[in-house]
């Protein structure tokens, strides 16, 4: 498959003293919306970080449109977990979104009126324009997540990676974010999302990647999202609520 | 210019440079790194003295930058080997500082460099040690060094303002946008080092920590904007410096000690009275909320 948007080949990585990823290999079609699912500690976040060179890979290679990350950085957008930054930082929502443009603005230059305008439009798209000048610590969890999404939108990337964008957000925000994700897909962007809610996988994603240290299964949601694969990924700790449609995961912490 | 005027100007320059640098120390959650570097620059100064055999500006600055970066590098390196961050700081800076102290005691003990001076500073001697600069004329050497440092600090903060902001707030995003996060980290450590060494003569290694952290921590309580925080922090630094001088003159005590004391007072006032994040206003807001919820119920 030469025209894959993302090509991950035999990637391994360790976190602290444990190996969390081992021989991860998969390819992602351009214009697809993939959900990455797996239990806690399966290496979902580490996989994203390793692909983006934020975490060292022990083995393997990752290419985007047949190019290494370094050459194609500017066409990739990343939405880290909300908890990864300090929301008490003295700045406002518009400013955080403008940060998505810092790569394009370049050294020694200030964001111009046009940059601020683009950031404002991205906020508006997420229904957040009235909070543009709000200090970020005064936003709710869902609003903070929308700000992060707006910041990714303003980058206008071709490939997006999002780490649990739907974790701990209100229903309205979840809807808003899913609308945007589907819109990105319509525009031919490739999106990979770490996701934790198994009940919504079939509604939200056209592709699923089951991950637990290695790739358990990957492919079209209709074909791959099966009882067997869920059991293989989560180690049989799944309880079927309603046969065939809804699943509940009991974590074994 | 009069003797006291030079002392006040010098102290204010310390307040300004430390105030600006301190903001990013606080926001990058590296306050204790200032403590570490303020101690290890002593080693840099001693080594520079051993090589050049005099206590002059440029070699001292270079020695301090090298010592500061070495500290930052060793701390990062130990941390990458799974040693806790704060433990690595504690190990690295005490060891380097101890080497500095041993060198002073064994090799340069008779010179104009002693541990007491390095730790506490002696701002009252500053006006006696002057140099002549073109255009400006005769000014104290320490004041000239601090002026140059302030210029360098301001230049880097203004030139890379948005890069400091993004690497402090979200280093992962910064890295994915192609901003050299690690290089910015070491550049910042370099700035901390030169600010520390330039403030050395005036306030010493211990008090420079107070001037780096306290005004910035106070400013953090007053505003939600980075630019205002920088201005406020610099302002608080200057106020602490001037207030410190007059407190010292009034009760006849150490100027650097009084400056640190004044910055502590400013912090307590900010902590209690800041309209934004102060204790009193937070208390009032939560009471107000409780009262209004009571009335709603009634």
The per-residue pLDDT for range A22-59, each reduced to its tens digit, is: 999 999 999 999 999 999 889 999 999 999 998 889 99
DSSP letters of A43-61?
SHHHHHHHHTTSS--SEEE
- What's the average model confidence in pLDDT over A87-101? 95
| Cβ-based contacts of B170 with chain A (< 8 Å) | 80, 84-85, 99
pLDDT of residue B238: 97
> Least CB-CB distance to B176: which of A78, A85, A86?
A78
Distance CA(B54)–CA(B131), nearest Å, equals: 15
Whether residue A93 is predicted with pLDDT greater than 90 in this model: the reply is yes
Rg (chain A; Cα; Å): 18
Closest chain A residue to B170, measured at CA: A85
- pLDDT for res A89: 95
User: How many residues does the structure list for chain A?
Assistant: 253
Q: What is the DSSP letter of B224?
A: S
Q: Which helix (H) or strand (E) holds A35?
A: strand A33-37
pLDDT at B205: 76
Provide mean pLDDT across the span B49-56. Answer: 80
pLDDT over threshold 80, residue A114: yes
CA distance A89 to A95: 11
Residue A64 has pLDDT above 90, yes or no: yes
Interface test with A, best of B30, B81, B162, B216 (most A CBs within 10 A): B162
CA distance A17 to chain B (A): 9
Distance from CA of A90 to the nearest CA of B (A): 4
pLDDT at B50: 87
- Test mutation, A75, A87, A90, A147, chain B, max B CBs within 10 A: A90
Question: Given pLDDT bands bounded at 50, 70 and 90, which one contains residue A245?
Answer: very low
What's residue B276's pLDDT? 84
Chain B residues with CB-CB distance to A111 below 8 A: 162
User: Is residue A97 very low, low, confident or very high in pLDDT (cuts 50, 70, 90)?
Assistant: very high
- Cα separation, A128 vs A193, whole angstroms: 22
Q: Do A80 and B159 touch (CB under 8 A)?
A: no
Q: How far is it, in rounded angstroms, from Cα A161 to Cα A79? A: 6
Q: What's the CA gap between B80 and B92, in Å, rounded?
A: 14
Average pLDDT of the residues in B279-283: 85
Q: Is-contact A28 A48, C-beta < 8 A?
A: no
φ, ψ for residue A216, nearest 5 deg: -85, -45
Chain A interface includes B31 (CB < 8 A): no
Q: What is the pLDDT of residues B92-123, one digit of tens each?
A: 999 999 998 898 888 776 556 666 776 667 78
Quick check: A90 and B177 CB within 8 A?
no
Helices (H), chain B: 3-27, 31-52, 57-80, 85-106, 115-120, 141-159, 161-169, 171-176, 181-222, 226-251, 255-273, 279-297
The C-alpha of A183 sits at a distance from chain B's nearest C-alpha, in angstroms, of 23
pLDDT of amino acid A252: 45
> At A242, is the pLDDT very low, low, confident or very high (cuts 50, 70, 90)?
very low
| All structural domains of chain A | 6-84+158-249 (3.40.50.300)
pLDDT digit string, tens, across residues A130-189: 999 999 999 999 999 999 999 999 999 999 999 999 998 999 999 999 999 999 999 999
What pLDDT does residue A238 have?
61
- Among A182, A165, A95, A172, which Cα is nearest to A136's? A95
Nearest CA-CA distance, residue B134 and chain A, Å? 31
What would the two tokens of residue A179 be?
């609308």
From chain B, pick out residues whose CB is under 8 angstroms from the CB of A95. Answer: 165
How far is the alpha carbon of B83 from chain A, nearest alpha carbon, in Å?
A: 11
CB contact under 8 A, A99 and B179: no
The rounded distance, in Å, linking the Cα atoms of B74 and A228 is: 49
List the structure tokens of A122.
Answer: 């991205």
Q: Look over chain B and give the mean of its residue pLDDT values, rounded to a whole number.
A: 88
Q: Which has the minimum average pLDDT: A200-214, B14-28, B199-213?
A: B199-213
CB pairs under 8 A between A and B: 78
Q: What is the CA radius of gyration of chain B?
A: 21
CATH homologous superfamily of domain B3-297?
ABC transporter involved in vitamin B12 uptake, BtuC (1.10.3470.10)
Asked which of A209-223, B219-233, B272-286 is least confident by mean pLDDT, the reply is: B272-286
The full DSSP string for B111-136 is SS--HHHHHH--GGGGGGSEEEETTT
Query: What average pLDDT does this structure show over B26-31?
Result: 93
């Amino acid at each position: 498959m030469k025209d894959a948007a993302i090509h991950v080949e035999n990637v391994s990585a360790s976190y602290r003293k444990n190996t969390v990823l081992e021989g991860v290999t998969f390819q992602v079609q351009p214009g697809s919306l993939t959900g990455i699912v797996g239990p806690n500690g399966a290496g979902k976040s580490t996989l994203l970080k390793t692909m983006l060179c934020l975490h060292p890979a022990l083995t393997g290679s990752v290419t985007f449109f047949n190019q290494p990350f370094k050459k194609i950085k500017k066409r990739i957008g990343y939405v880290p977990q909300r908890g990864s930054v300090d929301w008490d930082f003295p700045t406002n929502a518009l400013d955080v979104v403008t940060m998505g443009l810092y790569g394009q603005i370049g050294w020694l230059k200030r964001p111009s009126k046009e940059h601020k305008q683009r950031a404002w439009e991205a906020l508006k798209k997420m229904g957040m324009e009235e909070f543009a000048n709000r200090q970020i610590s005064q936003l709710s969890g869902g609003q903070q997540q929308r700000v992060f999404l707006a910041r990714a939108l303003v980058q206008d990337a071709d490939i997006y990676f999002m780490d649990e964008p739907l974790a701990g957000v209100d229903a309205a925000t979840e809807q808003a974010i899913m609308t945007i994700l589907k819109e990105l897909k319509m525009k031919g962007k490739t999106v990979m999302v770490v996701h934790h809610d198994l009940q919504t996988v079939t509604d939200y994603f056209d592709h699923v990647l089951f991950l637990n240290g290695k790739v358990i299964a990957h492919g079209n949601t209709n074909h791959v999202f099966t009882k067997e694969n869920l059991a293989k990924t989560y180690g049989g700790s799944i309880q079927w609520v309603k046969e065939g449609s809804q699943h509940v995961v009991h974590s074994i912490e | 210019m009069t003797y006291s005027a030079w002392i006040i100007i010098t102290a204010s320059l310390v307040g300004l440079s430390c105030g600006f640098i301190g903001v990013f120390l606080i926001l990058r959650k590296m306050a204790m790194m200032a403590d570490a570097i303020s101690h290890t620059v002593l080693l840099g100064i001693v080594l520079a003295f051993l090589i050049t055999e005099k206590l002059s500006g440029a070699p001292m600055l270079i020695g301090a930058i090298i010592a500061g970066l070495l500290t930052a590098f060793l701390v990062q390196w130990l941390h990458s080997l799974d040693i806790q961050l704060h433990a690595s700081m504690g190990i690295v800076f005490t060891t380097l500082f101890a080497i500095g102290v041993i060198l002073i005691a064994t090799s340069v003990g008779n010179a104009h460099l002693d541990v007491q001076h390095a730790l506490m500073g002696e701002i009252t001697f500053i006006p006696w040690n002057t140099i002549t600069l073109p255009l400006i004329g005769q000014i104290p050497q320490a004041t000239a060094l601090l002026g140059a440092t302030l210029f360098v600090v301001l230049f880097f903060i203004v030139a890379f303002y948005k890069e400091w902001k993004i690497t402090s707030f979200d280093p992962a995003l910064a890295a994915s946008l192609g901003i050299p996060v690690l290089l910015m980290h070491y550049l910042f450590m370099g700035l901390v080092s030169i600010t520390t060494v330039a403030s050395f003569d005036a306030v010493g290694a211990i008090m420079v920590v107070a001037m780096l952290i306290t005004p910035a921590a106070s400013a953090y309580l007053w505003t939600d904007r980075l630019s205002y925080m920088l201005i406020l922090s610099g302002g608080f630094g200057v106020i602490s410096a001037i207030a410190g001088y007059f407190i010292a003159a009034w009760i006849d005590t150490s100027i650097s000690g009084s400056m640190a004391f004044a910055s502590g007072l400013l912090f307590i006032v900010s902590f209690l009275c800041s309209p934004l994040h102060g204790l009193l206003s937070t208390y009032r807001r939560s009471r107000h909320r409780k009262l209004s919820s009571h009335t709603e119920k009634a």
